[in-house]
């Protein structure tokens, strides 16, 4: 049984990755931050009491601001694979807390790389790099495109990227970067623009919300479906040689297009509900991100199955169901047609979003 260690296991990507690895008979260990309340709702559907015979998902307290616990975990667990997904990952927020972003997103990566090196454990390391590193570089962007970040988050990710490359070349670590373009799902945090849009639609239809406030509608992104992207992470670590890969769909769509698609799916005119709010505009904007995923297609045999409009339908349906409404249903049909047993609608989508929404409501009223 292979053993994996995941940082950021309670996030969107971490929870999908844990679910995927468990389906492949891994023993999965995740690092979570100590807090006064539980933040594990995205994992509740796969979590078992660790005392139960046969349990394969284990959670450990740790923090990227200190390397001591991470070093101890790597040394004691001796994982075959390490997936480093944890970070302060909200681009707009990174302008408000740049020092914290640099410490967790940038230096946090170094702490894990150094822990892996010092432990002497023969492991494979995955670094969650980001398309935000490309910033103002002209699209399409691939593995040879220069990095021109436009935010503290993007800059911290560039540092983490090159440190991963450096540890690979200097110490012979099997260390890889996955440069993932925007990947969304019903498990996306509600402050991220895509989830903010789809959740607002459900709340508007329920009568709990009247307006949706957004910033720049012209920004273009390469949007894919997150569960497919964690499969790409796994594939990157299964190769004979460590390398870096761009993961994306090869299509770009504006925030406005996402709004039009989402509101149109439920028969609403978005212009009646959308308001501009300057507080959501970044000090420096990234105009367009567009992946050239040719290397991943050729070497990993990876390509996305879910289209942009299908992604929107999955997310809207999930938020409608989480709000207690009957979903239109196309999202569920898409997953039934495109995915194997590890990712299904009821267990992997609707039940998780209900749990996640309940936890969010509880935290807001705490």
Name the nearest CA neighbour of 47 among 39, 61, 57, 33.
57
Q: What does the radius of gyration of the chain's CA atoms come to, in whole angstroms?
A: 20
What own/partner pairs with CB < 8 Å and gap ≥ 24 does 131-134 have? 131/179, 131/180, 131/181, 131/182, 131/221, 131/222, 131/246, 131/248, 131/289, 131/291, 132/91, 132/157, 132/286, 132/289, 133/157, 133/158, 133/161, 133/179, 134/286, 134/289
CB 314 within 8 A of CB 185: yes
CA torsion, ordered 165, 192, 251, 350, to nearest 10 deg: 110
**How many residues comprise the chain?**
366
Strand partners, 245: 178
Question: Alpha-carbon distance 44 to 222, whole Å?
Answer: 30
CA torsion, ordered 318, 354, 64, 34, to nearest 10 deg: 180
What are the residue numbers of the active site? Answer: 130, 132, 153
What own/partner pairs with CB < 8 Å and gap ≥ 24 does 238-241 have? 239/176, 239/299, 239/300
By the 10 Å C-beta count (0-12 exposed, 13-18 middle, 19+ buried), 172 is classed as exposed
CB 143 within 8 A of CB 244: yes
Token representation of residue 200: 């607002």
Token representation of residue 202: 């459900």
CB 129 within 8 A of CB 180: yes
């Amino acid at each position: 049984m292979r053993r994996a260690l995941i940082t950021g296991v309670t996030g969107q990507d971490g929870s999908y990755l844990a679910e995927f690895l468990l389906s492949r008979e891994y023993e999965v260990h995740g690092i979570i931050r100590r807090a006064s309340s539980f933040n594990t709702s995205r994992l509740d559907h796969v979590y078992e009491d660790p005392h139960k015979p046969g349990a394969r998902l284990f959670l450990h307290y740790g923090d990227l601001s200190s390397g001591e616990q991470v070093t101890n975990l790597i040394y004691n667990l001796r994982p075959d694979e390490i997936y480093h997904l944890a970070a302060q990952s909200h681009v707009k927020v990174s302008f408000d807390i740049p020092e914290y972003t640099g410490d967790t997103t940038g230096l946090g990566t170094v702490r894990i790389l150094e822990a892996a090196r010092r432990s002497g454990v023969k492991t494979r390391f995955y670094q969650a790099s980001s398309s935000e590193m490309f910033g103002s570089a002209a699209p399409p962007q691939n593995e040879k495109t220069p990095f021109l970040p436009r935010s503290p988050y993007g800059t911290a990710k560039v540092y983490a990227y090159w440190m991963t490359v450096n540890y690979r070349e200097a110490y012979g670590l099997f260390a890889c970067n996955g440069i993932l373009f925007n990947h969304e799902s019903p498990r996306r945090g509600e402050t991220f623009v895509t989830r903010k849009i789809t959740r607002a639609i459900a709340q508007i239809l329920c009568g709990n919300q009247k307006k949706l406030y957004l910033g720049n509608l012209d920004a273009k992104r390469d949007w894919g479906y997150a569960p497919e992207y964690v499969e790409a992470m796994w594939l990157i670590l299964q190769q004979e040689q460590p390398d870096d890969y761009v993961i994306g769909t090869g299509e770009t769509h504006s925030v406005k297009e996402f709004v039009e698609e989402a509101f149109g799916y439920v028969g609403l005119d978005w212009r009646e509900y959308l308001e501009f709010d300057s507080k959501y505009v970044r000090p420096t904007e990234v105009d367009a991100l567009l992946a050239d995923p040719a290397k991943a297609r050729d070497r990993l045999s990876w390509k996305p199955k879910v289209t942009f409009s299908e992604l929107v339908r999955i997310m809207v349906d999930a938020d409608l169901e989480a709000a207690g409404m009957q979903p239109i249903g196309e999202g569920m049909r898409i997953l039934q047609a495109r995915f194997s047993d590890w990712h299904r609608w009821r267990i992997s989508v609707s039940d998780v979003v209900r749990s996640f929404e309940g936890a969010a409501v509880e935290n807001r009223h705490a």
